[in-house]
Amino acid sequence: MNAAVSATRVNAMLTAAVTHHDAGRFLKALPHFRKYLKRRPDDVAALNMASFAAFQTDHADIALNWLNMAKATDPNDAQTFYNLGLVNQSVGLCEDAANAYHRAAELDPDFGSAHFNLGTTLTQLDRLEDAIAAFDRAIGINPEHGKALSSKGYVLHTQGKYDEAAFVYGRAVSILFGDPEPLIGLGKCLQDAGRLAEAASAFARAVDANPHDAEAISNLANVMVQRGDAEDAVATCDVFLAHHPASTSVLAAKSVALNETGNTDAARQLVDLERFVTPIRQLHAPGFKNMEIFNAAMVGHAENHPTLAVAPTSHATRLGKHSADLTAKPKGPVAAFEKMIGRGVEEFIERLGSSSEHPFIAHRPRKWHLAVWAIVLEGKGYQVSHIHRSAWLSGVYYAQVPSVVDGKGQRGWIEFGEPGPEYHWSVKPETRRIKPEPGLMVLFPSYTFHRTIPFESDETRISIAFDVVPDI
């Protein structure tokens, strides 16, 4: 009788967990899964469902633990390995993700999503030929797999195979009707191939597909500038900004176009490097005796972070290493750093004031979250000019700086103002350089172009970058 009652209670735990899970109430599902799995730790299906609930509530560590339990119970379950790939990829453990996706595809060769996600992970790892092979397997399973075709087009474009990439993108466009993504990819490919009229047409079609797509607009404005139509580029940006005034990528594109028209006053007002680029010296780290101890802790955390890897060519970092998001647990000294960022953002906002017609000030987000990552540069490492498209405000903190920054040429300094390599410009913009120093935090609007002046050194330069990302 007692065994029957116990079995009934255990089943009730699973029923409650699954009910909450299927209704999308993942946080409420977790305690029921925990209770059930204490009694049935070998239920692979429940472990997979529980891991999904944990993953959806930002508990990737718990999700990985449950998935590893499922793998130990049944080492031949393709879904378990696929889910391991998803979680590992999301937290930046790309090698582990690739291995998991590969195993899922081995166990189930017709698992198209495993092949596709393996391709995306291999692309992140810069293993481009292997990525193409994975995408081809996904396309072989489903010839109408538009996302796999579009992703293959991206890799071919990255390899400089413009004609092949354009053909593959064209197939993706015909399948993903109304999706601007493959059209934007096609436009970039055609632009790099020098086929500017065709590129402009592709970007215009992307805008038609989704008039609210900031990347479509910013790329259209960019090719307009390259074709000598800077005034039209400004007008195109303004139409979009009338509805989306805080769009980072479109504000950046507009700043380039304004400078090309010769309207340097308007460009200066929009970018305003002297006003908006804000160095803040950090004097205290919560929980640390002094800044030297804190900086040493941040250096160790960055250098030993499991996601730190050589940055792929798709990143702004060149000849250096890049981590995934450092806000994932265990945070270590990043927990204190988040508080320091909060103080810095408050100080930055207070300096701006509350009333302004400037779009950056007038449309600051009411709610936001942080993304934080480490950049480790050594030897000849540097960062090309770039912006942070998904954020409102960005920043960098210097934990360790090589002595070369004290020498001639401002090597290793951070420079603001010069557009990135994907933009086409001829008029030299105004720039501002700031010398990195341990304990210095620099905040700036996310649409502000910034880069590292290349340097050579036997010492390592370790910075912690972050974004203030609006909650939509």
**Cα–Cα distances in angstroms (integers) from residue 429 to residues 237, 271, 415, 417, in the given order:** 19, 10, 12, 6
The overall pTM is greater than 0.85:
yes
Query: Which two three-digit tokens encode residue 431?
Result: 């720039």
Give tens-digit pLDDT for 346-400: 999 998 877 678 999 999 999 999 999 999 998 888 899 999 999 999 999 999 9
| Strands ordered across the beta sheet of 432-434 | 432-434, 414-416, 450-452
Using the predicted structure, report yes or no on whether residue 286 has a pLDDT greater than 70.
yes
**pLDDT (0 to 100) of residue 3:** 58
Q: What residue ranges define each of the domains in the chain, with the CATH number in brackets?
A: 2-270 (1.25.40.10), 275-470 (2.60.120.620)
**pLDDT (0 to 100) of residue 190:** 98
For residue 279, give the 3-state DSSP assignment.
strand
Q: What is the mean pLDDT of residues 41-54?
A: 97
Using the predicted structure, report yes or no on whether residue 5 has a pLDDT greater than 70.
no
Q: What is the mean pLDDT of residues 49-60?
A: 94
- How far apart, in whole angstroms, are the C-alpha atoms of residue 15 and residue 11? 6
Q: How far is CA 30 from the centre of its chain?
A: 28
Nearest-CA neighbor of 452 among 403, 410, 421? 410
- Average pLDDT of the chain is 95
